[in-house]
C-alpha cells in the first residue's frame, strides 16, 4: 500500500460533499485513486454507483488504469464509470430518447464549415481566415458554457466581429436541421435533467457517489449538471485548484470552487499542500507568484524535497537576441528541458533556431496558423511588392494600411496606367494624381521611398526594421511582425526570406516528434499536468503574458502553472528592452528563503549578448 500524508489520508476518508484543493505536484491523482480503493474495498460501496468525471478521455483512461493497477482487479470486476462530462451527458440524452421514445439530435462534429458560411453570409467577411473561424467557434462555445443571457452574448466580440448575429443564426440552423454540437450535448442534458423529474431520479439513483477531477477547468454549465446530479444530500468529491484555472477562453469557471460552500452548505474544504514535484527554490518562487492573487483560498504550499534546486532570471539584452543563446544552452547533454510560452506563435523562431542547429526536439500542439495570419500575410506582401512593383495582388492587399487613405478607384486607375506602360510605378502615379490631397501625396511619396530603399537594400533584416519602425504600417508594432523579424538573418535577401518562410511552414507541418528528444516546446496550457527536470519560460512580456485584455488574475495563474512544471531547474527569460510585470514583481519581492544575488528576488544570470 502506498505511503500517504496526513492530508491525503483525511481526504481519502472524508464523506459527504467535499472540495479538495490540491497544489501542483501534491499527488491529487494518487489521492483520488486511493479514495476509490477505500470506497470499494473498505467501505463496501457498490462500484457501479460511482461516477468519476475527468477533463479528458485520456485522463479517464489513465485514472482507470491506475485504479486497476492499485486494486489488482480486472476491468469488468470493478464497474466504476470513468468518463468526461460530455460522455456522461451523451448517455443522458441516449437514455432519454430510448426511455421516452424521442429522437435524439444528430451529432455535428465538424462545425467550422458552417461557421465559415455564416461569417460570409451574416458578417459579410468574404474569405474568413482559419483564426477568424476558430475564434468565432470558441466564442459560441464560451457563450453556451458560461450560460450567458441575450444581453451578455450581445456584448461579445470575435476580433472586431459581433458574435450574437452569428450565434443566433448558428443555433437556429442547428435546431432547424435537428443537429447538436459538442456543447449542446451538455446543454440539452442539463435542460432534460431539470424538466424531466423521472430522468433526474434515475441518474441520481444510479450514481450516488460522484468524483470530479480538475474541477477548476469545468464550466458553469458543467458545474450545474454536477450540482443537479448531486442534489442536496448526495456524495460529491471534487478535486481541483482555483490557482490552476487557466482555461477561461474555454469558459472554465473557478468561481464554482470559490463559492463551494454556498452551493453545498454542508460541504467541507480540504487541502493537499505538500509539493512532491519541485525543488525548494521553485516552490518558493511559485508561492510568491500566486500569492499576489486575491480571488483564491490561502494555501501553505511547501516543498517535500530538501534540495534547493535552482530558480533564476535569465537576462538578455534584447528579446530578439534570446533565440541563439537558448539554442546554445540546449546543445549537448543536460536534463530534459521544456521551453514554455503563452502563445503558439512564440515557438516559431525557436523551432527555426533548433532546426538550424540540428537539435532534436518535440513540440506539443503547434500548427501552421501563424503563417496564415493576416498580419503575416501583409508582411510577406510588403516584401513581394518591394521586390516587384508590378505585383498588383500584393499591393491590393496592403495599400490602405499605411495611413495614406488611398481610394480603391484611384488605385485601380493607377494600376491600369502601369499595366498599359503609361506609368512607371503605381505609387509614383498616385502621388501625382488629382484625386489625392497634398497630405496624401506626401504620405504616398514617403511610402514609395520606403519601398525603394527596401528594394535596393535587398535585406530582410532592414526590411522588417522599416516595417516595424518607419513605414507607418498599421500593425508594425505587433507581435507577429516581431516574430517575423526574429526569423531574419544578416545578409539574407528578400527572396531568400520568402523562400525560408515557405520551407519553415512545411517543416512545422510535417514535423515528427522524437520520443527520446531532450527538448520539448509547449504552450503553458498544453504543459498543464506535466512536469520537466528543467523549464525555460520565455516571452513573459507585457501584452503577451500578461495579455493586454486578459483577466489579471488568470494571467498570473497561467504564469504560475508554467513555473510549477519545473522539477529541478527554472529559468525565466528576462529582456532589457521589454516590460515584464510578473518578473518585476519577483525582482522586488525580498520574501524568498533561498539564495539571492544583489538583492534581487531570485538570482539573475548576467545579460546574454543580443
Domain ranges of the chain: 6-98+186-272, 106-177, 290-366+514-597, 372-506
pTM of the model: 0.91
Residue numbers belonging to the annotated binding site: 22-29
Confidence (pLDDT) at 603: 60
CA distances (Å), origin 164, targets 137, 144, 151, 532: 12, 12, 9, 42
Q: Please report the pLDDT score of residue 380 as a whole number.
A: 97
pLDDT in tens, 279-336: 999 999 999 999 999 999 999 999 999 888 899 999 999 999 999 999 999 987 789 9
Q: In the chain, which stretches have pLDDT less than 50?
A: 590-601, 609-610
Q: What percent of the chain is predicted at pLDDT more than 70?
A: 95
> Residue 589 has what pLDDT?
55
Widest distance between CA atoms in the chain: 92
Q: What is the pLDDT of residue 36?
A: 95
In the annotated binding site for ATP, the residues are: 22-29
Buried b (16+ CB within 10 A) or exposed e, 88-105: bbbbbbebbeeeeeeebb
**Tens of pLDDT along 485-541?**
999 999 999 999 999 999 999 999 999 998 788 999 999 999 999 999 999 999 999
What is the CATH number assigned to the segment(s) 290-366+514-597? Answer: 3.40.50.300
Sheet containing 337-341: give its strands across.
Answer: 362-364, 519-523, 337-341, 532-537, 566-575, 310-316, 604-608
pLDDT of residue 317: 93
Phi, psi values for residue 341, rounded to 5°? -155, 165
Radius of gyration in angstroms for the set of CA atoms belonging to the chain, rounded to a whole number: 28
Instruction: Give the per-residue pLDDT at 78.
Output: 76
Residue 161 is predicted with a pLDDT of 94
The 10s digit of each residue's pLDDT in 246-257 is: 999 999 999 999
- Cα distance between residue 27 and residue 4, in whole Å: 9
6-98+186-272 and 290-366+514-597, same CATH topology? yes
Tell me if the domain spanning 6-98+186-272 has CATH number 3.40.50.300. yes
- Spatial distance between the Cα atoms of 169 and 154, rounded to a whole number of angstroms: 13
Kind and range of the H or E element at 484? helix 479-486
Amino acid at each position: 500500500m502506498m505511503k500517504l500524508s496526513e492530508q491525503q489520508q483525511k481526504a481519502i476518508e472524508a464523506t459527504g460533499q467535499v472540495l479538495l484543493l490540491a497544489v501542483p505536484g501534491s499527488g491529487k491523482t494518487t489521492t483520488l485513486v486511493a479514495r476509490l480503493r477505500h470506497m470499494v474495498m473498505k467501505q463496501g460501496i457498490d462500484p457501479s454507483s460511482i461516477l468519476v468525471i475527468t477533463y479528458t478521455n485520456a485522463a479517464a483512461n489513465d485514472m482507470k488504469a491506475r485504479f486497476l493497477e492499485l486494486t489488482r482487479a480486472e476491468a469488468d470486476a470493478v464497474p466504476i464509470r470513468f468518463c468526461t462530462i460530455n460522455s456522461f451527458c451523451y448517455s443522458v440524452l441516449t437514455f432519454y430518447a430510448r426511455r421516452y421514445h424521442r429522437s435524439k439530435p444528430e451529432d455535428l462534429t465538424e462545425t467550422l464549415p458552417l461557421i465559415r458560411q455564416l461569417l460570409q453570409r451574416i458578417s459579410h467577411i468574404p474569405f474568413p481566415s482559419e483564426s477568424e473561424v476558430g475564434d468565432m467557434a470558441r466564442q459560441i462555445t464560451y457563450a453556451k458554457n458560461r450560460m450567458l443571457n441575450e444581453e451578455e452574448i450581445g456584448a461579445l466580440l470575435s476580433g472586431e466581429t459581433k458574435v450574437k448575429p452569428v450565434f443566433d443564426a448558428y443555433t437556429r440552423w442547428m435546431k432547424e436541421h435537428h443537429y447538436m454540437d459538442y456543447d449542446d450535448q451538455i446543454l440539452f442534458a442539463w435542460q432534460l435533467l431539470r424538466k424531466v423529474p423521472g430522468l433526474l431520479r434515475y441518474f441520481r439513483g444510479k450514481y450516488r457517489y460522484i468524483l470530479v477531477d480538475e474541477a477548476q477547468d469545468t464550466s458553469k454549465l458543467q458545474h450545474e449538471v454536477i450540482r443537479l446530479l448531486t442534489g442536496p444530500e448526495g456524495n460529491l468529491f471534487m478535486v481541483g485548484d482555483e490557482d490552476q484555472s487557466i482555461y477561461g477562453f474555454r469558459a472554465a469557471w473557478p468561481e464554482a470552487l470559490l463559492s463551494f460552500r454556498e452551493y453545498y452548505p454542508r460541504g467541507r474544504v480540504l487541502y493537499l499542500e505538500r509539493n512532491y514535484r519541485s525543488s525548494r527554490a521553485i516552490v518558493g518562487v511559485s508561492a510568491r507568484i500566486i500569492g499576489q492573487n486575491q480571488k483564491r483560498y490561502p494555501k501553505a504550499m511547501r516543498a517535500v524535497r530538501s534540495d534547493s534546486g535552482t530558480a533564476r532570471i535569465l537576462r538578455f539584452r534584447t528579446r530578439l537576441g534570446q533565440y541563439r543563446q537558448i539554442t546554445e544552452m540546449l546543445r549537448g547533454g543536460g536534463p530534459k528541458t521544456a521551453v514554455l510560452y503563452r502563445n503558439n506563435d512564440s515557438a516559431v523562431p525557436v523551432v527555426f533556431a533548433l532546426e538550424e542547429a540540428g537539435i532534436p526536439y518535440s513540440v506539443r500542439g503547434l500548427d501552421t496558423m501563424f503563417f496564415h495570419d493576416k498580419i503575416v500575410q501583409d508582411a510577406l506582401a510588403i516584401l513581394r511588392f518591394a521586390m516587384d512593383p508590378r505585383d498588383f495582388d500584393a499591393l491590393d492587399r496592403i495599400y490602405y494600411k499605411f495611413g495614406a487613405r488611398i481610394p480603391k478607384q484611384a488605385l485601380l486607375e493607377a494600376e491600369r496606367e502601369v499595366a498599359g506602360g503609361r506609368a512607371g510605378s503605381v505609387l509614383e502615379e498616385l502621388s501625382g494624381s488629382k484625386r489625392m490631397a497634398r497630405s496624401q501625396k506626401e504620405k504616398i511619396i514617403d511610402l514609395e521611398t520606403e519601398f525603394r530603399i527596401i528594394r535596393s537594400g535587398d535585406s530582410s533584416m532592414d526590411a522588417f526594421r522599416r516595417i516595424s519602425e518607419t513605414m507607418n504600417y498599421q500593425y508594425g508594432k505587433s507581435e507577429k511582425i516581431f516574430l517575423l523579424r526574429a526569423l531574419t538573418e544578416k545578409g539574407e535577401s528578400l527572396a531568400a526570406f520568402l523562400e525560408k518562410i515557405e520551407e519553415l511552414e512545411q517543416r512545422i507541418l510535417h514535423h515528427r516528434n522524437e520520443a527520446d528528444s531532450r527538448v520539448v516546446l509547449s504552450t503553458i496550457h498544453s504543459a498543464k499536468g506535466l512536469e520537466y527536470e528543467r523549464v525555460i519560460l520565455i516571452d513573459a512580456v507585457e501584452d503577451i503574458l500578461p495579455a493586454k485584455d486578459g483577466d489579471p488574475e488568470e494571467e498570473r495563474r497561467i504564469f504560475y502553472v508554467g513555473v510549477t512544471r519545473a522539477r529541478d531547474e527554472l529559468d525565466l527569460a528576462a529582456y532589457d528592452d521589454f516590460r515584464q510585470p510578473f518578473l518585476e514583481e519577483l525582482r522586488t519581492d525580498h520574501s524568498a528563503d533561498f539564495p539571492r544575488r544583489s538583492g534581487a528576488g531570485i538570482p539573475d544570470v548576467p545579460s546574454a549578448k543580443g
